């Protein structure tokens, strides 16, 4: 028989294959459509430039231009999480692929993990282009005295951020067509609340004690603490951080665990609803 020598792969191997299989089209797809590379790298630089010229007109300290460049680079990851992770199950359902993902004998988190890796690659290309443009066009200078701390902060920021994206993926599926509206709703407010273009400690300086709680609430979004911590590492003498650096790193580690657990629970809930009631969206009364 043709299948006599077939050996079923282990559960771990199947899930690793799923990760590679879902990351591959996102990485290769960017190379097959050069116009995407242009729009994903050039247009974001225009938005960042507007903030740079705004701070320059205000005679703000030079490090504020660096804050803008870092925040502009990190927007690539936030947009990827919001549109290519959180809304992904909804788009897959619209394209008819969701059924294949749900019946596959693998973890749904492996599928989303592969999407995250592939999306992280394209987002990194955009982020690096923004950083290089900031250095060449605006003369931004960074001072990286503790590379290990910076790597740790970046890694746990990405893990927590994409863990949140996995959690939102199943929630968006339950909300149905509201996923599109939720993504639009969360795009710009997070830019403000998370301090993409200014230090989050600014809320405290402007609003006083209430501003501290505004910043603390915004810290639920992992990129808020990640941005603040990276700025502290790159500008150790100038940045007035929201929290001590080690506290922000510890918080990112905790957020990573929390969001990954919530992602697993929400994905399991989505599957239970599908099996029990034969639907993947909520019934609004």
State the sign of the Cα–Cα–Cα–Cα dihedral 120, 124, 130, 131.
Answer: positive
**In this predicted structure, what is the pLDDT of residue 1?**
47
Distances (CA, A) of 243 to 16, 18, 204, 219, 225: 37, 39, 12, 11, 9
Per-residue pLDDT at 90:
75
pLDDT attached to residue 282? 53
Tokens for 62, please give them: 């030079």
Q: Provide the sign of the torsion angle of the four alpha carbons 233, 238, 239, 240, taken in this order.
A: positive
Q: What is the pLDDT of residue 284?
A: 44
pLDDT of amino acid 285:
41
- Vertex 69: Cα angle to 204 and 32 (nearest 5): 135
Q: Which residues of the chain have pLDDT under 50?
A: 1, 284-285
Task: Return d(Cα 191, Cα 196) in angstroms, integer.
Answer: 5
At residue 152, the pLDDT reads 93
Q: Is 122 helix (H, G, I), strand (E, B) or coil?
A: helix
The answer to whether 251 and 157 have CB atoms below 8 angstroms apart is no
Render pLDDT for 239-258 as a digit per residue (tens, 0 to 9).
678 888 999 999 999 999 99
Q: Which of 24, 171, 19 is nearest to 88 (CA)?
A: 171
């Amino acid at each position: 028989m043709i299948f006599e020598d077939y050996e079923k792969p282990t559960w771990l191997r199947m899930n690793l294959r799923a990760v590679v299989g879902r990351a591959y089209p996102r990485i290769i797809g960017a190379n097959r459509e050069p116009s995407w590379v242009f729009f994903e790298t050039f247009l974001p630089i225009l938005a960042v430039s507007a903030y740079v010229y705004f701070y320059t007109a205000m005679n703000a300290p030079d490090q504020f231009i660096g804050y803008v460049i870092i925040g502009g680079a990190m927007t690539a990851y936030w947009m990827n999480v919001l549109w290519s992770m959180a809304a992904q199950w909804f788009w897959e359902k619209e394209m008819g692929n969701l059924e294949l993902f749900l019946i596959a004998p693998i973890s749904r988190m492996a599928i989303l993990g592969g999407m995250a890796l592939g999306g992280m690659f394209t987002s990194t290309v955009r982020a690096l282009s923004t950083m290089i443009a900031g250095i060449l066009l605006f003369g931004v200078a960074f001072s990286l005295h503790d590379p290990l701390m910076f790597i740790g902060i970046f890694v746990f920021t990405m893990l927590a951020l994409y863990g949140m994206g996995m959690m939102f993926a199943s929630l968006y599926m339950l909300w149905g067509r509201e996923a599109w509206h939720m993504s639009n709703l969360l795009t710009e407010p997070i830019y403000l609340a998370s301090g993409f273009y200014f230090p989050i400690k600014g809320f405290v300086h402007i609003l006083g004690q209430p501003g501290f709680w505004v910043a603390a609430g915004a810290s639920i979004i992992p990129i808020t603490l990640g941005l603040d911590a990276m700025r502290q590492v790159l500008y150790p003498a100038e940045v007035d951080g929201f929290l001590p650096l080690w506290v922000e790193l510890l918080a990112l580690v905790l957020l990573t665990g929390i969001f990954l657990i919530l992602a697993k629970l929400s994905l399991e809930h989505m599957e239970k609803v599908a099996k029990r009631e034969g639907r993947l969206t909520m019934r609004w009364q």
